[in-house]
Structure 1
C-alpha cells in the first residue's frame, strides 16, 4: 500500500506541475509579445518620418565664421529635436559653394547670401549659363552689413576715391568678392580693372590693412565680427559711409537683395557716430527636392527654439517671425510656405 501511495503521490505531483506549466504559458506569451509591440511602435514612428533624410548636411562657410557657427548650432538642435536624423555642419568656401552643394545633392541645408542665391537661381553673373534650379529659400536669418574699412590717413571719403587703389576684395569667387564687384559697379568702375584687387579672406584683409598693403578692405559680415572689433580697436581705421543714391542704384540696377542699413553708434571701438551703409540678407537655404514635411519640421524647431540659436550667436536675434521673409530673392521651399501660412504670414512666391 505504501508503494502504491507513493506512485499515486508522484502522479499527482507530475500532473500538478503540468497544470502549473500550462497556466504559465499565457504569461510567457505576453512577455514574448511585448518586444514585438515595441518594435511595431518603432516601425510606425519610422513610417511617419519615412521622407526625412537620415543624414543631414548643413553647409556653412569657413570654420570660425558666423555661417559655420550657425550651421553647427542648427545641426545640434535638429539632432536633439528630430528623432532618426544625423545632422552635421560642413565647412565650405562660402555662399557660391554652399548653393552649388545644395543644387548637386551634396547637402540638404545651407546658410548663404540671398543676393548670391538670386544670381545662382537665375543664372546671372558668375553663374551665367549654369542656373541652379534645385535650391530654395527657407527663412531669413540675419543681415550681412557692408563694412568698407579704409585707413584714416588714406584720404578716402567716398567709394569713388578708391579708383586705382589697392583694395582687399575677398577670396576669389566668394560672396565677399561678388559684393565687392557689385559695389564698384555701383560706383561706376570697371571691375576689377579700375582697382588693384587683393583676393583675401577676412583675416587676411585685416592683416593687409594693418600692414598698409591696401588702403581699403571689404569686411562685409554680421555686426560685431571679431575681425572688425580687432581692426577698429587700433583707432587707425574707419568704416566708409555709402551714399544713398549709390545704394538705390545697387538695389535697382545691380541686385534687389541690397537694402539700406545704419550701423549704430558705438558698435565698434572709436566709432562714436552712426554710419549709413547697406546690407544683404543671409538666409537658410534648402535643396528644393528635400521633403516638405522635413523642411516644415526644421522651420518649426528653429522658431520654437529661438533662444537656443541666440545663445549660440547674438546675431540670431534678427531671426523672428516678423522678419521671416526679409530680403527674399528666390522661391520658398514648400515646407517653409506651409509653416509660415500657419503662422498667418503672407507668403510671396
Structure 2
C-alpha cells in the first residue's frame, strides 16, 4: 500500500512538472513572436526606436584614399547615419570619383563620394565614361567646393586666360577631371588645348615643380584650397591665380551645369585680394533603388548634424547649399529633405 501511494505521488509530481515546462515554453514563444511582429522597428543600444527600412540592414560609403579628404569625412558620415537611422554604416577605402561611380553601378556600394563633374560625365556617358553610361546612380547632396585653380608665378606676365596663348601649360592627364576642367575653361575663353597652348600632362606636384623650374608657365589644379602643392610653390616663389571673370563663369555654368561660382579668399597663398574662380563640387551619390525613406533619413542625419563634423571642410557642408552645382538627378528622398529645409 505504501509503495502504491509513493508511485501515485511520483506520477502526479511528474505530470505537474511537465505542465509547468509547457507553460514556460508557450510564454517564451509568445514573447519572441510579439517582438518580431508587433513593433516593426529596430533599436540601438540605448533602446531608442529606429525606422524599419526593409531589406537594407547595412550601408557602405565608398570614399577615397586614407590620406585624402573623402575618407575621414566618410567615417563621420557613417557614424551619423548609423546613429540616426539604426542602419549600420561603414566608410570604405576606394579609388575615389570615377571608380566610385563604376562601383555603385556594379552594386559594390550604396553611397559614394564623387566630384560633380565626374558624376555628370558618368550619367551622360561622355569623356572617361564614353560608351559606359551609368543610369542607376543619383545624387544625395553637394558637400564642398573643389576649386579650379589656374596657377602661375606673380612675375610670369600671365594675368589673363588670353595670355596663355603659346605658353606651356599643365592640363592634367588625358581623361582626368582636371583635363576636362582645363579644356572647358579654355573653350569658354576662345582657346583650345590642341591649337593655342603647349599642353603638358602633369600631376599637381609635377606642375608646381615645373613652374618653379621654369619648364612650364602655368598649371590647372582642381582641388580644395589651400592646396599643398600650391602652398609649397608660394613658399619659394610668389604665385598668381588667374581669375575667371563673372561673365565667363556664367557662360561656363550655362553650358556645363555642374560648375559653381567660387572665390579664393585674400590671404590664401599670400594673395592680396580675393580671386574670382569656379569650382566643381564634392558630392554624395547613391544607388537609385535605395528606399526613399532611408535616403531621406540619411540626408537628414548628415545635414542636420554638420556641427558634429570635425573636419575643416565641414564648414562648407550646409543644407541650404545641398543642391548647388549638382548636374544629375537627385534621389526623391534627398529632394524631400531639401524641399523641407528651404
2:313 is paired with a residue whose SS is helix
Distance in 1 between residues matched to 2:335 and 2:261, nearest whole Å: 27
Distance in 2 between residues matched to 1:197 and 1:76, nearest whole Å: 44
1:147 is paired with a residue whose SS is strand
Structure 1 residues 317 and 34: alpha-carbon distance in aligned structure 2, compared to 1, 3 A threshold: farther
| Candidates 60, 66, 70, aligned match of 1:67 | 70
Which residue number corresponds to residue 88 of structure 1? 91
Q: 1:339 deviation in Å?
A: 2.5
Structure 1 residues 201 and 320: alpha-carbon distance in aligned structure 2, compared to 1, 3 A threshold: same
**1:1-349 pair list within 5 angstroms:** 10=6, 14=10, 17-18=13-14, 21=17, 24-25=20-21, 28-29=24-25, 32-33=28-29, 36-37=32-33, 40=36, 44-45=40-41, 48-52=52-56, 54-92=57-95, 94-127=96-129, 129-252=131-254, 254-266=255-267, 268-308=268-308, 310-311=309-310, 313-341=311-339, 343-345=340-342
1:145 is paired with a residue whose SS is strand
**Greater Cα shift, 332-341 or 63-72:** 63-72
Structure 1 residues 167 and 71: alpha-carbon distance in aligned structure 2, compared to 1, 3 A threshold: farther
Distance in 2 between residues matched to 1:73 and 1:225, nearest whole Å: 22
**Greater Cα shift, 114-123 or 34-43:** 34-43
**Greater Cα shift, 117-126 or 327-336:** 117-126
Distance in 2 between residues matched to 1:294 and 1:234, nearest whole Å: 50
Structure 1 residues 35 and 158: alpha-carbon distance in aligned structure 2, compared to 1, 3 A threshold: same
Structure 1 residues 23 and 286: alpha-carbon distance in aligned structure 2, compared to 1, 3 A threshold: closer
Structure 1 residues 201 and 184: alpha-carbon distance in aligned structure 2, compared to 1, 3 A threshold: same
Distance in 2 between residues matched to 1:288 and 1:168, nearest whole Å: 37
Aligned residues: 334
**Greater Cα shift, 199-208 or 181-190:** 199-208
Distance in 2 between residues matched to 1:84 and 1:196, nearest whole Å: 52
Structure 1 residues 331 and 275: alpha-carbon distance in aligned structure 2, compared to 1, 3 A threshold: same
1:276 is paired with a residue whose SS is strand
1:117 is paired with a residue whose SS is helix
Q: 1:299 deviation in Å?
A: 0.8
Structure 1 residues 24 and 57: alpha-carbon distance in aligned structure 2, compared to 1, 3 A threshold: closer
Contact 1:292/1:335 (<8 A) preserved: yes
Contact 1:231/1:237 (<8 A) preserved: yes
Q: 1:239 deviation in Å?
A: 1.9
Distance in 2 between residues matched to 1:30 and 1:232, nearest whole Å: 77
What's the CA shift string for 1:265-306, capped at 9, x where partnerless?
Answer: 12x242232112222333211222333233222112112322
1:171 is paired with a residue whose SS is coil
Distance in 2 between residues matched to 1:49 and 1:305, nearest whole Å: 21
Q: 1:182 deviation in Å?
A: 1.1
TM-score, normalized by length of structure 2?
Answer: 0.81
Q: What do you get for the CA RMSD once the two structures are aligned?
A: 3.3
